Amino acid sequence: MAAVQYREIVSKRMINRVHGMPFKWSINPYRGCVHGCHYCYARGTHTYLDLNGDEDFSGIIFAKVNGPDLLRHELRQPSWRREDIAIGTATDPYQPAEGRFRLTRRMLEVLNEARNPFTVVTKGTLVVRDSDLLADVARRAGCTVCFSIPTVDRSIWRSTEPGTAPPDKRLRAMAILAAAGVCVGVLAAPIIPGLSGRSDLLEETARAAAEHGAMFFAAGALHLGQGERTHYLHFLNQEYPELLGLHERLYRGKYPPREAVDQLDARVAEIRDHYGLAEWHRASSEPLQAELAFGT
């Protein structure tokens, strides 16, 4: 595997308006992600830079080096109403690049200064480095850390998320934050038909979440937009060819049939109730009212 290239860029905007997700605003300190999750819906964003969504997406990482200063400027605008901001909706804010650039840490410090609530979505265990800061924000403004753990099955994890920390390490990181007083939980998404969608595996993930201090648990179905569809189906053909027919039937468009999503939601609600877990919460600890976005 070729060495990862890191490129510093200057961003024109940090707080971005989000549509079709449970959050109105988002921040992404990095562009591209070394995790290399084969289902990642953000792969198509690299094509805007005349790069591809395959090797380039996980091999060329852009760091928005002016991000902390730009964020401070945007938070000071009279029009800003201190609304909840999601960090890491497109690429992981705690991927290995964070150990080098520390952009996420610096942006969290800016948000803490402004007492602005936020939610972090991550697969990265480096988040424990910032447990002191996150605990302080939890007291001052409110924050939530959502660990993306689609499944605790190690075989499925290894094939679908080749560059990520194992699920058990993410769970241990979550337990550390929970002990520090941070609101934490698990997002099991995307659920892959024929693999992580098995009822027993969903329950196993929820049980592990509860045992490691999760306050909430949610799951979302896989979706296949144009940006990730070709890459994902190629991966499926290589690793799980027996599932191609099932996916072709379910994904005639971007989303699976409504009845399939309803069945998943109902099963997740049963499991959540069984383990005493809440729905996914905002940083304010109020339940989300919007529909869960498919894939993360």
Contact between 145 and 285 (Cβ < 8 Å): no
pLDDT at 48: 64
Please indicate, yes or no, if residue 291 is contained in any of the structural domains: no
pLDDT at 293: 29
pLDDT at 131: 97
In this prediction, the residues of the chain whose per-residue pLDDT falls under 50 are 282-296
User: What CATH number is associated with residue 114?
Assistant: 3.80.30.30
**CA 168, 291, 27, 295 torsion: positive or negative?**
positive
Tally of domains within the chain: 1
DSSP E strand boundaries for 67-162: 85-87, 118-122, 143-148
pLDDT tens-digit readout, 220-270: 999 998 888 999 999 999 999 999 999 999 999 999 999 999 999 999 999
Helix, strand, or coil here: 107?
helix
Find, among 71, 84, 55, the residue nearest to 163 by Cα: 55
pLDDT at 46: 73
pLDDT at 281: 56
Please indicate, yes or no, if residue 235 is contained in any of the structural domains: yes
Residue range of the domain that includes 179? 5-274
Please indicate, yes or no, if residue 180 is contained in any of the structural domains: yes
Find, among 113, 112, 115, 118, the residue nearest to 28 by Cα: 118
pTM exceeds 0.85 for this model: yes
Q: What is the spatial distance between Cα 236 and Cα 246, in angstroms, rounded to a whole number?
A: 11
pLDDT at 199: 93
